[in-house]
Amino acid sequence: MADRPLRRLGFLTIGLFDEDDPARGHETTLRLIELGERLGYDSAWVRHRHLQYGIASPVAVLAAATQRTSRIELGTAVTPLGWENPLRLAEDWSTVDVLSGGRFNPGLSTGPPTHYEGVRDALYPDSSGAEDFGYARVRRLLRYVTGEPVTAFQGTEGIESYSRRVQPHSPGLRRRVWYGGGSLRSARWAGENAMNLLTSSVVKAEPPSEGAGDEGEPGDFATIQLSHIRAFRAAHPDGEAARVSQGLVVVPTDSADARQRARYEEYAAERLPRTTGPQGPARLLFAPDLVGPSERIAERLRAHAAFREVDEVAFALPFTFEEPDYEQILTDIRYRLAPALGWAPD
C-alpha cells in the first residue's frame, strides 16, 4: 500500500540545556509539549542523551509532562537500552503510562552504550564483560512490560504485600512500545516481535530488500528506508496495519522572519555534506533537512518513497534553535505543512 494520507502528527525534541542553568532548558521542553497539545498535535517525543546537555531522563521529564497535558501522546525516541536495567525500566515505563492515562509510547534501541570503553567501569563495574546488549535484553523488557512473572514469590510478609510481576501493571503499554531501527535486520526483528517501528533521518547504507520497489536510485536514502518499512510489515503479525512513524527534520519557513530563515538555511547547509554518501565505519546515510515554504516541503515529502508508505510522523526539531524558533516551526507545521499532507486534528 502506498500514498497513505497523514493520520497522526508528532514532533521530536532533544531538549538541550545550558549546564549552568539546566532547569531553564527542561522547562522549555515542557512548554513545547504543552504547546504541541494546544496546537492539536497527536504526539510529542523526546530524545535520550547520556553525559550530554540533553535529556538524560526522559521518564522523569515525561512524568512531569503527564501532569501538564491531558490528551497528547508522549514518547521517547529512543532510549538506548544498554544503559538500562530492563526490570527497573519496566517499572518506570509502567508508572509513566499510569500517570498519563495510557498515553505513553516508549521507544528503545539496542547496542552497547556510546563510548562504552570510557563509561563501562562507572556503569557496570562488576559485570561490564558479561552484559548482553543485543535483542535478548529487549525481550526481557518486553516480558516484564507484558506482566510475566519476575519472581516466584507472591504474598505477604508482615504488613508488606509482594507481587510476582512489575507494578504498577499497565495492560495496554506493550502495544505502544517502539523500536528505533535503521537497518534491514532491526526492522525485520521489530516486526517479528510485534513492536512498532520508529524510522528517522538516519539509515544504514545497505542494499534494499526485495520488494522495495523501483522508486529513486538504488541505494538512496528513501529507497533503503522504504525497504525497511516493507520488511517490517512483512514480518509483523499486523501486516500492512503495523505502525510505522517517520522522523525527518522539517523546517517550514512560512511565518519565519528574515533572520530566522537565514539561520535555518545555514543550519541545513552545514549538515548537507553528510548526506552525500555513507558516513563512518557504520556506513550511516543521512537524509537532508527539509527547509523552506510548507508547500515545497510537502512536494518533496510526497515524492519521498518511504514517506508515501507511512501515516504517522514525528518531525524532528533541529538541535540548536531557540524557543521562539521552535514555536514558529511547530505552528507552521500544524497550520501549513500538515494540512497539505492530508492531516486534520481529531
Tell me the pLDDT tens digit for each residue of 35-74: 999 999 999 999 999 999 999 999 999 999 999 999 999 9
d(Cα 302, Cα 323) in Å, to the nearest integer?
29
Average pLDDT, the chain: 95
The three-state secondary structure class of 46 is strand
H-only helix segments in the chain: 22-39, 58-66, 86-100, 116-123, 135-146, 184-192, 221-235, 258-271, 294-302, 323-332, 338-340
Helix (H) or strand (E) holding 78: strand 73-80
Contact between residue 15 and residue 46 where contact means Cβ atoms under 8 Å apart: yes
pTM of the model: 0.95
What values do phi and psi take at 109, rounded to 5? -145, 165
Dihedral of CA atoms 99, 102, 107, 112 in degrees, nearest 10, equals 50
212 pLDDT higher than 50: no
97 pLDDT higher than 70: yes
pLDDT in tens, 182-207: 999 999 999 999 999 999 999 999 87
Cis peptide, bond prior to residue 78, ω within 30 of zero = yes
Domains and CATH numbers, the chain: 26-41+181-346 (3.20.20), 47-150+163-179 (3.20.20.30)
What percentage of the chain reaches a pLDDT higher than 70?
A: 96
pLDDT in tens, 121-177: 999 999 999 999 999 999 999 999 999 999 999 999 999 999 999 999 999 999 999
